[in-house]
Amino acid sequence: MRTLDEILEVETPREKYIIMEEPDKEVAAEFIRKNWRHYVILIFAFSSVKYEGRAASELSPSDHIIILKPDGTLLVHGPEKREPINWQPPGSILTSFVEKGKLVIRSRRYKPRETVIIVCESPYVLLAMNTRSGEFRMFRSESQMVDYVMRNPSFIEEGFVPVIKEYRTRFGIIDLFGRDKHNNIVICEFKRRVADVQDVAQLALYVDAIQRNSNCKVRGFLIAPGITDMALIALKEKNLEFRKLNPKSIIGGENAV
């Protein structure tokens, strides 16, 4: 059920952006409550943060950049690093109020139940931005590597025949499943980055599991732009094989989808 206020907000023409310098806390709290679904809101404030959920954390009072998105995302950024210090993912529910003279921003989510509480002593700036999202395209994914090998099976070795992509087993999903020229089973695991020991472990698990249910010989290939030393040791101990493939080198002519 929408209140009259909520209806009015939606109908009201929206500014491209709204700036409040040193905003009154009551005004800021009301603005956040009424508008967080419509604007991306940035708050630059001296603030402290407490988080309680899968883990728990405390951030002592300092200058932080707080971003609230219409989808429920909350970010608390400091002056360093790509990662936010604290955050809440999309779907979280926001509220804001004044308590003991301080501006409080609280975000809650369920499954898992998690709460972030931000207490602002002095909000320096509040900036609300009316944004629309653009179109985004990415290239050079792992699936493009699989497509390349599907079209160029001899990359694995002469006589290799791809059979099925993303073959689902009880143990997990095999990137590419096929046969070699002697009709042995071939399992291919692709990585777009340098392969590590974890990737070898994953391939070994698949090979062992398939081998247990089959009389054929089962061979495992790891296809990646490189492999770490430890991973190479583990690979050889497990009698698995490696093929070097750089996603950068297969961009020619790959633009489908």
User: Going by DSSP bridges, is the β-strand pair 185-190/218-224 parallel, antiparallel, or unpaired?
Assistant: parallel
Smallest distance from DNA to CB 21, Å: 28
Question: Does 252 help bind a second copy (rule: CB under 8 A)?
Answer: no
Nearest partner of 54 among 111, 118, 106, judged by Cα: 111
Residue position matching structure tokens 């391939």: 203
Smallest distance from a second copy to CB 257, Å: 15
Smallest distance from DNA to CB 247, Å: 8
Of the residues 64, 106, 191, 219, which one makes contact with DNA according to CB under 7 A: 191
Of the residues 16, 81, 182, 212, which one makes contact with DNA according to CB under 7 A: 81
Q: Residue 199: what are its φ and ψ, rounded to 5°?
A: -70, -35
Nearer to DNA, 27 or 104 (CB): 104
User: Which span (11-19, 22-30, 169-177, 248-256) binds DNA, by CB under 7 A?
Assistant: 169-177
Tell me the two tokens of residue 221.
Answer: 């290939």
Of the residues 9, 196, 241, 254, which one makes contact with DNA according to CB under 7 A: 196
Binding mask 130-149 for a second copy (x = CB under 8 A): xxxxxxxxxxxx--------
Nearest partner of 49 among 32, 61, 65, 41, judged by Cα: 61
Nearer to a second copy, 146 or 180 (CB): 146
CB 37 within 8 A of CB 3: no
Question: Does 4 help bind DNA (rule: CB under 7 A)?
Answer: no
Question: Does 114 help bind DNA (rule: CB under 7 A)?
Answer: yes
Separation between Cα atoms, residue 26 and residue 23, nearest integer Å? 8
Residue position matching structure tokens 């059979």: 163
Separation between Cα atoms, residue 112 and residue 106, nearest integer Å? 16
Of the residues 14, 151, 168, 248, which one makes contact with DNA according to CB under 7 A: 168
Question: Does 63 help bind a second copy (rule: CB under 8 A)?
Answer: yes
- Collapsing DSSP to helix, strand or coil, 257 comes out as coil
CA dihedral 10, 12, 15, 21 (to 10 degrees): -90
Which residues are near DNA by CB under 7 A?
51, 53-55, 57, 73, 81-83, 86-90, 109, 111, 114, 116, 138, 140-143, 168, 171-173, 175, 189-194, 196-198, 202, 228-231
